[in-house]
Structure 1
């Protein structure tokens, strides 16, 4: 298989190297869940990659039995999603269906529509990331997520990007979310905090 994906600082990995890396991660952290992401350039990916290449890489990750979830965007081409869903049907991996809005925070109606669409396509975990322009936007996202969370059985992730939305990363359990994303060697999203920062702040807030 000729698919490639990007590592840390733009280093290209071959398909075989990527599989080796997945094995190494699982070997080092056997009790930790692993989310595999090959982000579309339309929603924050570092470069434009043909769907055929992304599909091959994601399906290879699913078939490896090393990943617990694959993060695939809601607004993907139907044929692309159908192939991913087909691979997931015969795998123990689950689909973390995501949507990113780097421009604004949608209205409550729009947020509800996105979550409903995620459930309708069969997502196992619903992930929404938006860009707030004010603290009102942050409160709006939290309120909409908490309300939807009450009527959905699916785990949810709701992130307000940028420094304004830090609370949604620090305390997702208070904002309707089920987990957060922290930076390891380098930050990959606007407003992302390091693991050490999140742990320190959660301790200060008596959340851990």
Structure 2
């Protein structure tokens, strides 16, 4: 139903995968992962724009923050894109313990999808499905004023 391809693969291959997937009615996530650091907010916005330009159905950036301000940069980049009228769904993940809030509160700033684990985490900071569901339920009740 959906394919995920790393943005920094050979661009010719990225273009081919997107075209082939779309010809078969398959959605494409074009993603960028950095397990070491987080780039500045302006670069995150520019990178998202470049990913969106590929024709991705969903654009994803997952980075490892070294400090809390980098988590804020990730959220602000998504919010800036959302406020500018971007129509491409975004996935914005700050990995590790510092970035857990991007998995739980992400929809407030334009995040389309979150990731949780049903067993062994596939990325640093991934929480269990039950924990994510519980936190989202609580947040939704707060937002709804209940």
Shared fold per TM-score greater than 0.5 = yes
Tell me the CA shift for residue 102 of structure 1.
Answer: 1.3
2:56 aligned with 1:123: yes
CA distance in 1, matches of 2:5, 2:137: 32
Is residue 168–residue 175 contact of structure 1 (8 Å, CA) maintained in 2? no
Residues in 2 aligned to 1:88 and 1:136: alpha-carbon distance in whole angstroms: 37
Aligned position for 1:108: 41
After superposition, the C-alpha distances for 1:84-142 in whole angstroms (9 at most, x for unaligned) are 12312321111111001111111122112211111111111010101111111111111
Unmatched tracts of structure 1, length 5 or more:
1-66
> Counterpart in 2 of 1:140?
73
| Conserved 8 A contact 2:18-2:56 | no
Once residues 16 and 77 of structure 2 are traced to their aligned partners in structure 1, the CA distance between those partners, rounded to angstroms, is 31
The answer to whether the 8 A contact 2:4-2:31 is kept is: yes
The separation in 2 between residues aligned to 1:178 and 1:199, in whole angstroms, is 15
Indicate whether 1:189 and 2:123 are aligned.
Answer: yes
Equivalent in the alignment of 2:11: 78
Q: Deviation at 1:173?
A: 0.6
User: For the residues of structure 1 that align with 2:14 and 2:137, how far apart are their CA atoms?
Assistant: 40
Contact 1:169 1:180 in 2 (8 A): yes
Answer whether contact 1:71 1:95 (CA < 8 A) is retained. yes
The structure with the larger Rg is: 1
User: What RMSD in Å do the two structures reach over aligned CA positions?
Assistant: 1.6
Displacement after TM superposition at 1:78 (Å): 2.5
Q: 1:144 to 1:89 in 2, by over 3 A?
A: closer
Q: How many residues align?
A: 141
- Aligned counterparts of 2:109 and 2:94: Cα–Cα separation in 1: 10
More helix by share: 2
Q: Which has the higher contact order (CA 8 A, sep 6+)?
A: 2
Aligned to 1:162: 96
Structure 2: runs of 5 or more not aligned = none
TM-score when normalising by structure 1: 0.64
TM-score, length-scaled by structure 2: 0.89
